[in-house]
Amino acid sequence: MSTQVVEPGGPLVGRVQVPGDKSISHRVLMLAGLADGTSTIRGLSDGDDVACTRRIMEALGATVTEDGPCTLRVGGRGLEPANRTLDVGNSGTGIRLLAGLLAGLPFRSVLDGDASIRHRPMDRILEPLALMGAKVSGRDGSSLAPLTIDGGGLRGIEYRLPVASAQVKGCVLFAGLSADGPTTIVEDRPSRTHTEELMAATGIPLVRETDGPLERVTVKPGCPAPFDHEVAGDPSQAAFWAVAASIVPGSEVVVGNVYSGPARSGFIDVLARMGADLVHDPATGDLTVRHAGLTGTVVTPDEVPGLVDEVPILAVAAACAEGETEFEGVGELRIKESDRLATVESELGRMGADVRVDGDTLVVRGGSLRGTRVDSHHDHRIAMSCAVAGLVADGPTTVRGWEAVATSYPGFEAHLDALQGRG
């Protein structure tokens, strides 16, 4: 287990390019593997989660060649059975999306992952896949990974998501590519739209409609055409620098080329409401953030799908703000890479923050933070959130389990050094 020591220091100044968006990276690898021909992907996430999906697509017969840093050429031409268990590592997005893709392919596959993945709920995808006629079973008759999938023979369904989840939506839409007719997903609270955007961009017949308060996406069976895609920067990683620059006096940081599509920029709205000095230029994607005093706010359940991964780092912002911040309707955080309600409460609590969980609401009262030993709980976003909190603590903060950061942002430490003028 590795540790990282963060020293409070001077302002963060400069420009940084975060990794390519992780959600998009998984999906473009999968679509490129399904396509009949060679696709080019630039700016792919360099994190371990996406590397697992790449290796899985290769095990299924896609050819992947590197063509420069974070640039891949992926050749499809028919996927085939892998001769081994497919390891998604720590990636919930990987296992849920791939389960949908593999449910449509006429052979047996087994998907597994690390200890965290083996505890995360898969019933949310097993239910719609079963309605489609898929044969997917979990460990010892449960709905937990490893998942054994005997693919093929799917029927199209209409499915209303019981929870706002782009992973479940994506799973069903990937399965829908191999169904016998159209598949429709209905959402009450719109989640990120990468699956449908990318499918449409690769020529798959897909219709998106707004039906009163509901969003409907219908996909018809089909095969993506080969494509070229440049993956924009990951807003979930940009959020760490947005909060860091907001709370460290004298800071001014520009994060380049940040993705700005639906349900991904909620953290920008919340920080702006808290008084942050930040501008996201839609033309360049540049997110410019300067230090500013923050005040508490209320984040409502409707906002949560648009910032679900940013709650831990927004909790750090709240811990440095004046007054109280409430994050309502954040129960989904219990089933992320760690139970993030528990881990935010315990780790920021160790640093002296006033954090409590009240049902599905996370409440954070601003104050001062102390440097101490904290634990990532094998969760990349908890590790990076604690590191950012450490920038304004009264002494060094030691983050145990720092290796978790590599799942999404291997360059985080180097970027922090560069912004602190040590690069």
Active site residues: 309
Shortest distance (Å) from residue 407 CB to ligand S3P: 11
Per-residue binding letters, 197-226, with ligand S3P (x by CB under 6 A) = ------------------------------
Residue 407 sits in the site that holds ligand S3P (CB under 6 A): no
Shortest distance (Å) from residue 168 CB to ligand S3P: 7
Residue 170 sits in the site that holds ligand S3P (CB under 6 A): yes
- Closest to ligand S3P by CB, 330 vs 419, is 330
* Radius of gyration of the chain from its Cα atoms, rounded to whole angstroms: 21
- Closest to ligand S3P by CB, 280 vs 381, is 381
Using CA atoms, how far apart are residues 43 and 5, in angstroms rounded to an integer?
29
Residue 93 sits in the site that holds ligand S3P (CB under 6 A): yes
Contact (Cβ atoms closer than 8 angstroms) between residue 126 and residue 97:
no
Tokens standing for 281?
């230029």
Omega cis (within 30) before 312: no
- Closest to ligand S3P by CB, 23 vs 297, is 23
Shortest distance (Å) from residue 97 CB to ligand S3P: 7
Using CA atoms, how far apart are residues 59 and 54, in angstroms rounded to an integer?
9
Using CA atoms, how far apart are residues 349 and 13, in angstroms rounded to an integer?
28
DSSP H stretches of helix in 177-254: 194-201, 235-247
Beta bridge partners of 69: none
- Closest to ligand S3P by CB, 20 vs 170, is 170
Place of tokens 């449509």: 104
Of 11, 18, 20, 23, the one binding ligand S3P by CB under 6 A: 23
Of 31, 60, 86, 166, the one binding ligand S3P by CB under 6 A: 166
Region from 50-58, 105-113, 142-150, 164-172 binding ligand S3P, contact rule CB under 6 A: 164-172
Of 179, 308, 313, 351, the one binding ligand S3P by CB under 6 A: 308
Place of tokens 């690390």: 114
- Closest to ligand S3P by CB, 192 vs 291, is 192
Of 165, 184, 251, 265, the one binding ligand S3P by CB under 6 A: 165
- Closest to ligand S3P by CB, 308 vs 351, is 308
Shortest distance (Å) from residue 230 CB to ligand S3P: 18
Of 53, 178, 191, 237, the one binding ligand S3P by CB under 6 A: 191
- Closest to ligand S3P by CB, 277 vs 332, is 332
Other beta carbons within 10 angstroms of residue 290's beta carbon come to: 15
Region from 104-112, 159-167, 213-221, 383-391 binding ligand S3P, contact rule CB under 6 A: 159-167
The half-sphere exposure of 408 on its side-chain side, counting CA atoms within 13 A, is 26
Region from 165-173, 203-211, 319-327, 384-392 binding ligand S3P, contact rule CB under 6 A: 165-173
| Angle between helix 92-103 and helix 48-59 axes, rounded to 10 deg | 20
Using CA atoms, how far apart are residues 303 and 267, in angstroms rounded to an integer?
9
Residue 309 sits in the site that holds ligand S3P (CB under 6 A): yes
Shortest distance (Å) from residue 89 CB to ligand S3P: 13
Using CA atoms, how far apart are residues 381 and 364, in angstroms rounded to an integer?
18
Contact (Cβ atoms closer than 8 angstroms) between residue 388 and residue 420:
no
Place of tokens 């001014």: 252
Distances in Å between the Cα of 263 and the Cα atoms of 26, 234, 271, 305 are 17, 13, 15, 6
3-state secondary structure string, 117-130? HHHCCCHHHHHHHH
Q: Using CB atoms, what's the residue nearest to ligand S3P?
A: 23
Tokens standing for 208?
């998106």
| Binding footprint of ligand S3P, residue count (CB under 6 A) | 11
- Closest to ligand S3P by CB, 162 vs 359, is 162
DSSP string, 358-383: ETTEEEEE---B---EEE-TT-HHHH
Contact (Cβ atoms closer than 8 angstroms) between residue 76 and residue 32:
yes
Of 167, 183, 251, 297, the one binding ligand S3P by CB under 6 A: 167
Shortest distance (Å) from residue 322 CB to ligand S3P: 29
- Contacts to ligand S3P from residues 345-384, by CB under 6 A: none
Region from 8-16, 51-59, 161-169, 394-402 binding ligand S3P, contact rule CB under 6 A: 161-169
| Exposure letters 105-144 (e unless 16+ CB within 10 A, then b) | beeebebbbbebbeebebebbbebbeebbbebebeeeebb
Per-residue binding letters, 317-336, with ligand S3P (x by CB under 6 A) = ---------------x----
Residues that bind ligand S3P (CB under 6 A): 23, 93, 165-167, 170, 191-192, 308-309, 332
